[in-house]
Amino acid sequence: MKIAVVADPLASFKIHKDSTYAMMQAAAARGHALWALEPGDLAWRDGRVMGRAFPVTLLPHPQPLSRGERGAWFEAGGHEWLELREFDAVLMRKDPPFDQEYLYATYLLELAEAQGARVFNRPRALRDFNEKFAISRFPQFTVPTLVTRRGELIRAFLAEQGDIVVKPLNAMGGAAVFRLRPGDANIGVTIETLTALGTTTIMAQRFIPEIKAGDKRILLIDGEPVPYALARIPAPGETRGNLAAGGTGEARPLTERDRAIARALGPALKAEGLFLVGLDVIGDWLTEVNVTSPTCFREIMDQTGFDVAGRFVEALERKVESEK
């Protein structure tokens, strides 16, 4: 296959943990041709959606780069303007935030899809499934949750629940996630800051004390769960398990509750065109449905030996073949 990867600049990747890099490694190992471009390289011209892409050759690395290090891991060919439908698959792997430019990229990718491109995840689904708010489609698996920009509703929800988490709807990595309890001195300023004085909608959820045991990331590939989750355990003094917030990742087999959630959500998400999804589960409860650039491939692979990236590429091969 000829695969185009739409992502952040490749030079910014931390390949010791980057899931997109793991995908590219697995694809290259199976003989597929890799190309890369950024969302800013997309364009609509003369009725065609084009991408200014360049071919990528992965360099051999006997050992991954050390934690936090960046370095040369690929060779890039010359840029070419190509129609996206010339690729067998286009992987949209741009990290959040889901801002206006991300939105415009989904418009271009959806038009490319209408012209014959195969885009994963489907652009319309990327727009329809806000990673925080998408849990509203599956209320049987969620704790009490409020979505609003009205401060008085958030205060009433806090008084009712006694312990809540508030967070923006468009961030990632645990950014701007706050825990609030009655009597906290900064309730007002927290609500004012997150809602931008009542002009920005946010989410509030009942605090789930099982976060101490980890915020589990369950990966779904074409509707089927990977048999291991990555439990992201908060650092001492933290209530966020996100690895970007200092959490520690521990791979664990899926529990029966994890499998029940995956079985219920997998077919529905697949039907929407969501080929790769990362479900976040704390204790027994679904907290997020991540669709933009789900991660944790590398951590699960390194700790269990289960080839998540290989399974992803194999599923992609089957999907592309079935759609030809």
- Share the mean pLDDT of the chain: 94
186 noted as active-site residue = no
Catalytic residue of the set 122, 167, 206, 311? 167
CA max distance for the chain: 60
pLDDT at 71: 60
Contact 3, 53 (CB under 8 A): no
One of 3.40.50.1980, 3.40.50.150, 3.40.50.20, 3.90.330.10 is the CATH number of 2-121, namely 3.40.50.20
DSSP for 179-193?
EE-TT-TTHHHHHHH
Tokens for 89, please give them: 């698959």
Q: Left (φ > 0), alpha (ψ -120 to 50) or beta: where does 296 sit? A: left
Is the pTM higher than 0.85? The answer reads yes
**322 falls in which pLDDT band (50, 70, 90)?**
very high
Catalytic residue of the set 122, 258, 290, 299? 290
122 noted as active-site residue = no
H helix or E strand, kind and range, residue 107: helix 100-114
Catalytic residue of the set 88, 272, 288, 299? 288
Q: Left (φ > 0), alpha (ψ -120 to 50) or beta: where does 241 sit? A: alpha
One of 3.40.190.10, 3.30.1490.20, 3.40.50.720, 2.60.40.10 is the CATH number of 145-207, namely 3.30.1490.20
Residue range 13-52, pLDDT digits in tens:
999 999 999 999 999 999 999 999 999 999 999 999 999 9
In which residue are the tokens 């969501």 written? Answer: 274
User: Is residue 256 scored above 70 in pLDDT?
Assistant: yes
75 noted as active-site residue = no
β-pairing, 215-221 with 276-282? Answer: antiparallel
Across residues 231-255, what is the average pLDDT?
84
Q: What is the DSSP letter of 277?
A: E
Contact 103, 127 (CB under 8 A): yes
288 noted as active-site residue = yes
Catalytic residue of the set 232, 242, 258, 298? 232
290 noted as active-site residue = yes
280 noted as active-site residue = yes
Q: Do domains 2-121 and 210-290+294-307 have the same CATH topology?
A: no
The domains of the chain are located at 2-121, 145-207, 210-290+294-307
Catalytic residue of the set 110, 131, 280, 299? 280
Orientation of helix 297-304 relative to helix 308-323, angle to 10°: 120
Orientation of helix 297-304 relative to helix 19-29, angle to 10°: 70
Q: What is the DSSP letter of 163?
A: S
pLDDT at 211: 95
β-pairing, 215-221 with 224-225? Answer: antiparallel
CA distance 303 to 89: 29
Orientation of helix 187-194 relative to helix 151-161, angle to 10°: 130
pLDDT at 65: 52
Looking at the DSSP bridge assignments, the partners of residue 218 are 279
pLDDT at 202: 97
pLDDT at 173: 73
Catalytic residue of the set 94, 217, 298, 311? 217
Chain CA centroid to CA 137, Å: 18
Q: Going by CATH, does the domain composed of 210-290+294-307 fall within 3.40.50.300?
A: no
Catalytic residue of the set 17, 206, 216, 240? 240
